[in-house]
């Protein structure tokens, strides 16, 4: 009986060591995402933020409904000499083509936010691909530029979605600082949420047409400037190659 107990414990230890070795062996180069092992299955993870010693953060705006405040956002970004990433839904591109041109002309980065803003984990892979390809085609027809970044509607993702994005050479981007501007928060509340959570390598989520986005953005950029942060687009912040993404979605530069 004692032999059986010892053997059982030994087996468990060996299995645990094997799983740890598998997890530690994971590396991501180029556009592939993190694969996190839980038992015998893997979970892929988007980029939530970036490990960096530089005081640099990225700011991003999701655009699905309305465009009244978008030019104001561009004006404020120019005033503070900042760049940003706009994740656009396909039907928004259809409705506000001139604004897409304005975003591009202002030197901002444009990523896809799907074509119709569905919960994409409820779709099959073929439909996921159509959603991404259709939106990308619309953006490229306006800007003439490649699309390299994707943000999932509602932040909802699974392995299939990230696989499809990777097949289209897209990095899937989440965020680690949520302004919650869409909830009707005041400018002060928006800025306080962001500034209390931001750190080196953060990706900030905002929305292009939320109630107090303009005043909130101005407060955020002013304070970040005072604190010595450089505010850029997501593409300027993330590593394009030779990187690893850990199970928490933190992107690390491989040494």
Using alpha carbons only, how large is the chain's radius of gyration in Å? 20
Which of 176, 171, 239 lies closest to 203, judged by CA?
A: 176
Q: Are 126 and 149 in contact (CB under 8 A)?
A: no
Could you tell me the CATH superfamily of domain 45-253? Glycoside hydrolase/deacetylase (3.20.20.370)
Select from 145, 216, 211, 152 the least CA-distant residue to 182: 211
pLDDT per position as a tens digit, 220-253: 999 999 999 999 999 999 999 999 999 999 999 9
Q: What is the dihedral of CA 182, 188, 194, 195, to 10 degrees?
A: 180
**For the chain, what is the mean pLDDT?**
89
Min mean pLDDT across 42-46, 73-77, 197-201 is at 42-46
pLDDT for 25 equals 41
pLDDT in tens, 103-113: 999 999 999 99
Which secondary structure element, helix H or strand E, spans residue 164, and what is its range? helix 159-167
Here the tokens at position 58 are 């990225």
This prediction's pTM: 0.85
pLDDT in tens, 56-81: 999 999 999 999 999 999 999 999 99
């Amino acid at each position: 009986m004692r032999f059986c107990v010892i053997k059982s414990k030994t087996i468990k230890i060996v299995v645990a060591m094997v799983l740890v070795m598998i997890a530690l062996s994971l590396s991501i180069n180029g556009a592939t995402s993190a694969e996190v092992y839980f038992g015998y299955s893997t979970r892929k993870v988007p980029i939530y933020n970036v490990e960096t010693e530089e005081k640099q953060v990225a700011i991003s705006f999701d655009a699905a409904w309305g465009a009244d405040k978008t030019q104001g956002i561009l004006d404020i970004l120019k005033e503070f000499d900042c760049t940003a990433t706009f994740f656009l839904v396909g039907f928004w591109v259809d409705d506000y083509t001139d604004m897409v041109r304005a975003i591009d002309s202002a030197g901002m980065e444009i990523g896809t936010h799907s074509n119709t803003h569905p919960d994409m984990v409820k779709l099959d892979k073929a439909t996921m691909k159509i959603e991404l390809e259709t939106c990308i085609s619309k953006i490229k027809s306006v800007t003439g530029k490649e699309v390299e970044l994707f943000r999932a509607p509602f932040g909802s993702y699974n392995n299939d979605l990230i696989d499809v994005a990777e097949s289209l050479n897209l990095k899937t981007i989440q965020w680690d600082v949520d302004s919650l501007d869409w909830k009707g928060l005041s400018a002060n509340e928006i800025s306080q949420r962001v500034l209390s959570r931001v750190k080196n390598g953060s990706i900030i989520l905002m929305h292009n047409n939320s109630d107090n986005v303009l005043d909130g953005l101005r407060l955020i950029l002013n304070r970040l400037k005072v604190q010595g942060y450089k505010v850029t687009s997501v593409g300027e912040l993330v590593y394009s190659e030779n990187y690893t993404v850990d199970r928490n979605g933190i992107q690390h530069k491989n040494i």
